[in-house]
């Protein structure tokens, strides 16, 4: 789907030749001007046909004075980004027709169309997205072109460019997370990364089992032992910034299918464990967006990818493994495997002398209980990094919420037979998982995003959300806007007082 940005006043909108014109109408709108659109809006409001609640729509066919076949008026409340997203989703839902191929999306009635552009574009893309890779009977998205009309195109060009790149990234992440596990093996994930490596300023390395063994990644190797699919350790470099400037490192959990291993999961809904590589998909999606946008920043993506399977070679509860850091781990539950592959990836990330390290993982059901599907869980011992990620999420409408990391939560990880266990009981499970990861990031400017509740939806709407690509992209762009000195790492940690 192609987007174009156009300066389009309400008086000119009637002349737009499209299959449908979607007009966002705020609570307060000036309709004094005598043109077809203002007259239509004024009449709809006066007659009570366009209700005032956000998302309420009125569909008009062959309206007088319009070249568009259909005109859809949709209420957008105050015109804020969240209201715009809801309004566009409601409006596009009225237009899911095979003959609607060209859409006009008019934002110029809004009090601040600049803040609405990205939200409107993403909502339009989300509402029309269709997965087709392994479903030939599915009808691909009919909508081919969207003209975004604003008061002054030049003033919102940057937001438009970010919106286009974000959609590319989100849909790349959705594609790979939605694929069944036999169509998204670690090797296939690595091949997707290699193809991204052909884009400008991106370089991809893929390590296999022997190279990972040479790095002494004992925790990662332990998880992969039970599968016939060979592991892959994927490292992607985006070099958009000056040479020597410390990179942002994004570490994505890449469990391409999770049975739970010997601690096997219940059969019900186990199919959804193909989404357990949502963190990896979000890193790939972020790099796809960077390839489009080409910001002046350095970013490294690290993806440990493998399956968690229960065959005769699989790691067993009670086994002790040695991580790349040299710390030993008693594996009390093989279904707590994500933290095992991530801990070695975090140790590897330290070699990169990073500006910051953010790991992204569908890590715990406990985070779903705590935050549901609205906000991702955010954990960090650094106030500056946590604040930056929180702000990025709010800006991108991809919100997170900071959770505690008090030292007392780590007490349950103590083991009689190793430096630590990999689980600490049910209570505070999302926090104790983060405390485990923190043991491998003590000297890093590190944050952890638990996306178990936000990476995909279940039920009738089952499928990947593409989150948190918008958050990650915004965070990277914020770093690009205030880069550190060449050759310098991030400043000394600013830690929350206890």
Does residue 183 sit within a domain? yes
Q: In sequence order, which residues have a C-beta less than 8 Å from that of residue 303 and are 6 or more positions away?
A: 189, 193, 232, 233, 234, 235, 236, 251, 252, 254, 280, 283, 284, 345
> 103, 119, 151 — which closes off a domain?
151
Quote the pLDDT of residue 494: 41
pLDDT of residue 223: 98
Peptide bond into 468 cis (omega under 30): yes
Average pLDDT, the chain: 95
Summarised one tens digit per residue, pLDDT across range 288-338 is 999 999 999 999 999 999 999 999 999 999 999 999 999 999 999 999 999
Mean pLDDT to the nearest integer, 256-266: 98
Which of these ranges, 303-317, 345-359, 470-484, has the smallest mean pLDDT? 470-484
Domain count, the chain: 2
Residues sharing a CB contact under 8 Å with residue 101, sequence separation 6 or more, in sequence order: 19, 142, 143, 144, 145
Residue 488 has pLDDT above 70, yes or no: no
Question: What is the reported pLDDT for 115?
Answer: 86
Give the pLDDT band of residue 445 (cuts 50, 70, 90): very high
102 is a catalytic site residue: no
Q: What would the pLDDT profile of 37-52 be if each residue is shown by its tens digit?
A: 999 999 999 999 999 9
Q: Is residue 487 part of a domain?
A: no
Q: Which pLDDT score, from 0 to 100, does residue 31 have?
A: 63
Answer whether residue 492 is part of any domain.
no
Q: How confident is the model at residue 498 (pLDDT cuts 50, 70, 90)?
A: very low
Q: What percent of the chain has pLDDT over 70?
A: 96
- 177 and 285 housed in the same domain: yes
Q: Which of 145, 265, 353, 391 is labelled catalytic?
A: 265
Ranges of H-type helices in 29-101: 36-46, 81-93
Is 174 among the residues known to form the active site?
no
- Number of Cβ within 10 Å of residue 222's Cβ equals 25
Domain assignment of residue 490, yes or no? no
Across residues 213-238, what is the average pLDDT?
A: 98
The residue among 483 and 207 whose pLDDT is bigger is 207
Q: For 359-369, what is each residue's pLDDT tens digit?
A: 999 999 999 99
- The answer to the question of residue 277 being in a domain is yes
Bridge partners of 148, per DSSP, are 5, 105
492 vs 135: which has the higher pLDDT = 135
- Domain extent at residue 144: 2-151
Same domain? For 279 and 400 the reply is yes
| Average pLDDT value for residue range 412-426 | 97
Q: Are residues 145 and 275 in the same domain?
A: no
Neighbours of 96 (CB within 10 A): 14
Final residue before a domain boundary, out of 121, 151, 181: 151
Q: How many residues does the chain have?
A: 498
Identify the CATH number of the domain in which residue 449 sits. Answer: 3.40.630.10
98 and 182 inside one domain: no
C-beta atoms surrounding 132 within 10 Å: 13
Gap between the Cα atoms of 258 and 336, Å rounded: 10
% of the chain with per-residue pLDDT over 90: 93
Closest by CA position to 190, among listed 254, 258, 249: 254
Q: Are residues 215 and 278 in the same domain?
A: yes
Mean pLDDT of the 394-422 span? 98
Query: CB-based burial of residue 425 (10 Å sphere; 0-12 exposed, 13-18 middle, 19+ buried)?
Result: exposed
> Do residues 171 and 134 share a domain?
no
Res 391 pLDDT > 80:
yes
Please tell me whether residues 101 and 249 are part of one structural domain. Answer: no
Domain assignment of residue 403, yes or no: yes
| Mean pLDDT confidence for 54-61 | 96
- Which whole number is the average pLDDT over 258-284? 97
pLDDT reading at 483 higher than 90: no
Is 111 found in the same domain as 207? no
Q: Identify the pLDDT of residue 484.
A: 57
The active-site residue out of 85, 174, 339, 382 is 339
Residue 351 predicted with pLDDT over 90: yes
Residue 353 has pLDDT above 60, yes or no: yes
Query: Residue 130's domain is classified under what CATH number?
Result: 3.40.220.10
- Give me the mean pLDDT over the 114-136 stretch: 96
């Amino acid at each position: 789907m192609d987007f174009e940005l156009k300066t389009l006043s309400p008086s000119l909108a009637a002349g737009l030749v499209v299959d449908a014109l979607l007009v966002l109408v705020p609570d307060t709108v000036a309709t004094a001007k005598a043109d077809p659109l203002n007259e239509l809006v004024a009449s709809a409001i006066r007659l009570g046909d366009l209700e005032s609640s956000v998302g309420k729509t009125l569909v008009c066919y062959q309206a007088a004075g319009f070249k568009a076949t259909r005109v859809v008026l949709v209420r957008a409340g105050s015109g804020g980004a969240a209201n715009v997203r809801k309004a566009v989703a409601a409006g596009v839902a009225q237009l899911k027709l095979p003959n609607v191929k060209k859409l006009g999306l008019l934002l110029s009635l809004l009090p601040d169309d600049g803040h609405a552009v990205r939200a409107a574009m993403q909502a339009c893309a989300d509402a029309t997205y269709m997965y087709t890779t392994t479903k030939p009977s599915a009808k691909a998205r009919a909508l081919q072109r969207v003209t975004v009309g604003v008061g002054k195109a030049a003033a919102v060009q940057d937001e438009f460019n970010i919106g286009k790149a974000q959609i590319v990234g989100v849909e790349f992440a959705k594609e790979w997370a939605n694929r069944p596990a036999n169509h998204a093996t670690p090797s296939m994930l690595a091949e997707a990364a290699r193809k991204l490596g052909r884009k400008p300023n991106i370089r991809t390395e893929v390590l296999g089992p022997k190279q990972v063994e040479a790095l002494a990644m004992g925790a990662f190797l332990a998880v992969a032992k039970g599968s016939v699919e060979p592991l892959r350790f994927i490292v992607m470099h985006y070099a958009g910034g000056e040479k020597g400037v410390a990179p942002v490192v994004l570490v994505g959990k890449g469990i391409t299918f999770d049975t739970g291993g010997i601690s096997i999961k219940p059969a019900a809904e186990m199919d959804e464990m193909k989404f357990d590589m949502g963190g990896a998909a979000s890193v790939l999606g972020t790099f796809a967006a960077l390839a489009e946008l080409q910001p002046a920043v350095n970013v490294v993506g690290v993806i440990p990818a493998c399956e968690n399977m229960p065959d005769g070679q699989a790691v067993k509860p009670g086994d002790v493994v040695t991580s790349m850091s040299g710390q030993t781990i008693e594996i009390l539950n093989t279904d707590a495997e994500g933290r095992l592959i991530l801990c070695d990836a975090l140790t590897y990330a330290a070699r990169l002398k990073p500006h910051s390290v953010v790991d992204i993982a569908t890590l715990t059901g406990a985070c779903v209980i705590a935050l549901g599907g609205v906000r991702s869980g955010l954990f960090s011992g650094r106030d500056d990094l946590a604040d930056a990620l929180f702000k990025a999420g709010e800006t991108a409408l991809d919100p997170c919420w900071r959770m505690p990391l008090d030292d007392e939560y780590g007490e349950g990880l103590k083991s009689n037979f190793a430096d630590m266990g990999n689980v600490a009981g049910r209570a505070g499970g999302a926090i104790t998982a983060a405390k485990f990861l923190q043991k491998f990031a003590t000297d890093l400017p590190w944050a952890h995003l638990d996306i178990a509740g936000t990476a995909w939806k279940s039920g009738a709407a089952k499928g990947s959300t593409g989150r948190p690509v918008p958050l990650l992209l915004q965070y990277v762009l914020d770093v690009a806007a205030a880069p550190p000195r060449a050759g310098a790492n991030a400043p000394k940690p600013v830690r929350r007082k206890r």
